[in-house]
Amino acid sequence: EVQLVESGGGLVQPGGSLRLSCAASGFTFSSYEMNWVRQAPGKGLEWVSYISSSGGIIYYADSVKGRFTISRDNAKKSLYLQMNSLRAEDTAVYYCARLESTTLRYFGYWGQGTLVTVSS
Amino acid sequence: SYVLTQPPSVSVAPGKTARITCGGNNIGSKSVHWYQQKPGQAPVLVIYYDTDRPSGIPERFSGSNSGNTATLTISRVEAGDEADYYCQVWDSSSDHYVFGTGTKVTVL
C-alpha cells in the first residue's frame, strides 16, 4: 500500500525557517517524481514545488522561489522542503504528492498533510 | 501564468446530475485532472487525462474537455459526493502545475 507521511510542521515566527519531511513507503520511491502542494486555511490548493525522480530537475511556484528548497533522499525514501524567510501567507497545510505520469502529470497519491503556521 | 476558473459553488438534489466547469485558455489542448476533497481530508484523484477514472472511483464520475472548458460530471449524485472539487493541469510554458479555484458541491 502506498503511504506518504508528512512531518515537521508547527508554529514559526515570520522570517523563520522550517524543514518538512515526507516519508514514503509501499512503492519504489526512487522511480517517482514528487511534489509539495499546500492549502491555506479555507482556501484552495496551490502547487509549491516539483522534483524529478533523480533530483536533477526542480521547479518552484513563483510565490516560494528563492525561499523554499525541495530535495529528496532516495536511499531514505524521503522528500523534503526547506522553508526559509517564512511569511504569514505561507501558513497552510502542506501535502506531499506523488506524480503518476511524466506525460500526463497528475497526482495519484497524497499524504495527510502537515500544518505550518507562521505567526508572531 | 495559466489560470483555471471554476464556479465557487454548485448545488444539486440527490439523484440528479452535477456539472462542474473548469475554464482555461485553450484548455482542450491540455490534459485535465480532477480531485475531490472532503473536509479535513487530503485530495483524492477522481478523473485523470480528461476522462479516465482511477480504480475505485464510481462510474458516476465522468469528464470531458474541449475548447476553453473542461467539465466534471457527477451523475446520480449522492450525499457522499458533497465535497470540494479541483481541476488541475500542467502548464508547459511555465513549468508549473496549476489548480483551479475550486468548486464546493452541496447536495440539497
Q: How many CB pairs under 8 A join A and B?
A: 60
Of B31, B54, B86, the CB nearest to A45: B86
Residue A11's pLDDT is: 98
Task: Return the bridge partners of B35, or none.
Answer: B45, B86
Q: Give the tens place of pLDDT for each residue, B55-87.
A: 999 999 999 999 999 999 999 999 999 999 999
B83, B36 in Cβ contact below 8 A?
A: yes
pLDDT interval class at A7 (50, 70, 90): very high
A95: closest CA among A25, A47, A27? A47
Locate B74 and state its grid cell: 457527477
What percent of chain B stands above pLDDT 70?
A: 100
Q: Give the tens place of pLDDT for each residue, A39-59.
A: 999 999 999 999 999 999 999
Residue A102's pLDDT is: 85
Of A44, A45, A105, the CB nearest to B90: A105
Residue A101's pLDDT is: 85
Chain B residues whose C-beta sits inside 8 Å of any chain A C-beta? 1, 31, 33, 35, 37, 41-45, 48-49, 54, 84, 86, 88, 90, 95-102
Q: Give the tens place of pLDDT for each residue, A61-119.
A: 999 999 999 999 999 999 999 999 999 999 999 999 999 988 889 999 999 999 999 99
CA A12 to chain B, closest CA, distance in angstroms equals 22
Please, what's the largest Cα pairwise distance for chain B?
41
Higher pLDDT, B41 or A101: B41
Residue B12's pLDDT is: 97
Beta strands (DSSP E) in B1-108 are 9-12, 18-23, 33-37, 44-47, 61-66, 69-74, 83-91, 96-99, 103-107
Tell me the three state secondary structure of residue A28. Answer: coil
For A6, residues 6+ apart whose C-beta sits below 8 A from its C-beta are A20, A21, A22, A94, A95, A96, A111, A112, A113, A114
B46, B38 in Cβ contact below 8 A?
A: no
